[in-house]
Amino acid sequence: MDSATHVVMGLGLAGLATLDPAISSDPAAFQAVMLGTVIGSSIPDIDASLKLKSNAMFIRNHRGMTHSLPATLLWPLAITSCLLPIFPEANITHLLSWTLLAVFLHVFVDIFNAYGTQAVRPFTGKWIAFGIINIFDPFIFSLHLMGLVLWQMGANPGVTFAVIYAILAAYYVWRTVYHHRTIRRIKEELPGVKKVYLSPTLRWSHYHMAAESSDRFYVGKIEGTKLNLIDTFDRRPIDFENAIVKAAVRDKNVRAFLSLSPIYRWKLMQQKGRYVLQFVDLRYFAKGTYPFTATVWLSKDLSVQSSFTGWVYSERKLKKKMAVAQSKS
């Protein structure tokens, strides 16, 4: 989810925590838990700072180790250790438990986005991305804001957020069922399709779709029960034994892209005396293009001249970014 939603979820958990007698009976314990849940709901995204270093570093690691099983356990311990000296009278077991719930909930809801997380690392580095809930969901955010307003108006925060989280649990179940029904309908309309990747939008019944069969790629939009195909492509498996491809996939930007994208199209070209290998993720179609890309320029001796991975919406801007990266190398 987005950062704002994670923060309001942390506040919502603090309200829910007032149902715990050890929290509601002690103002200092409540303050500690509120800090613990807000920090715990936000801290796994500390790896967003990697974007300051490079797109490749960010793409390859965001929602990786900081969202893993070890981190889900270590974050609450670290947060509790920092808060206890400030609130020594707080019950360590209850503070740790509510902070753990906040961190777990952060990772859990992120799994439902199209981007996903490496939540079961270190057992596997596979990205878990259900593609059921948009990264910003107005319904989830609005429910939390409504709960916070009611709390400020004097409503019982524990009861208020217990009701809200019961509604959200039902909402997640409903969206999951609807998502699976949509995939089943797509497979019925496109015989031979083996995998379907849905990216949710702000509208519940609308999705971006990418799908693959043994020999075709399909890109489209779902609007309610209607499937609108935008593109179809022949599926060409990439030859990783090709010398040009071998040289390209050693580049950090290409490796970052391939580690994240489960469905992509690629093309190899020659331009201005160099090889150009480009990958585009088919899940993200917007403004008439596929903006999530990895592109690498190689000289005739197969050394990397420049590379880029990230979001770019025109060929002109891509070439500009490539030229800038080349000048820095």
**DSSP per-residue codes, 140-167:** HHHHHHHHHHHHHTT--HHHHHHHHHHH
Tell whether 182 is covered by a domain.
no
Instruction: For residues 212 and 247, state if they share a domain.
Output: no
Instruction: For residues 143 and 267, state if they share a domain.
Output: no
Identity of the amino acid at 209? M
Rg value, the chain, Cα: 23
Instruction: For residues 208 and 289, state if they share a domain.
Output: no
Instruction: For residues 194 and 114, state if they share a domain.
Output: no
Tell whether 60 is covered by a domain.
yes
* Residue 261 φ/ψ, nearest 5 degrees: -85, 125
Peptide bond into 122 cis (omega under 30): yes
pLDDT at 324 (0 to 100): 72
Instruction: For residues 136 and 13, state if they share a domain.
Output: yes
Instruction: For residues 250 and 227, state if they share a domain.
Output: no
Max Cα separation, the chain?
A: 74
Residue 290's domain spans which residues? 243-328
Q: What is the pTM of this model?
A: 0.89
User: How far apart are the C-alpha atoms of 146 and 267, rounded to whole Å?
Assistant: 49
pLDDT in tens, the chain (329 residues): 899 999 999 999 999 999 999 999 999 999 999 999 999 999 999 988 887 778 888 887 888 889 999 999 999 999 999 999 999 988 999 999 999 999 999 999 999 998 889 888 888 888 899 999 999 999 999 999 999 999 999 999 999 999 999 999 999 999 999 999 999 999 999 989 999 999 999 888 999 999 999 999 999 999 998 999 999 999 988 888 899 999 999 999 999 999 889 999 999 988 888 999 999 999 988 888 899 999 999 999 999 999 999 998 888 888 888 877 776 66
Instruction: For residues 38 and 10, state if they share a domain.
Output: yes
Token couple for 232? 């179809």
Tell whether 184 is covered by a domain.
no
Tell whether 181 is covered by a domain.
no
Instruction: For residues 225 and 298, state if they share a domain.
Output: no
Tell whether 37 is covered by a domain.
yes
Instruction: For residues 41 and 132, state if they share a domain.
Output: yes
Instruction: For residues 46 and 160, state if they share a domain.
Output: yes
Please list, residue by residue across 296-314, b when 16 or more beta carbons sit within 10 angstroms of its beta carbon and e when fewer do. Answer: bbbeeeeebebbbbbebee
Identity of the amino acid at 151? W
pLDDT at 320 (0 to 100): 85
pLDDT at 71 (0 to 100): 93
Instruction: For residues 199 and 129, state if they share a domain.
Output: no
30 near 94, Cβ under 8 Å? no
Tell whether 185 is covered by a domain.
no
Residue 8 has, within 13 A of its CA and on its CB side, a CA count of: 22
Tell whether 180 is covered by a domain.
no
pLDDT at 54 (0 to 100): 80
Q: How far apart are the first and last CA of the chain?
A: 35
Helix (H) or strand (E) holding 95: helix 92-111
* Structural domains in the chain (count): 3
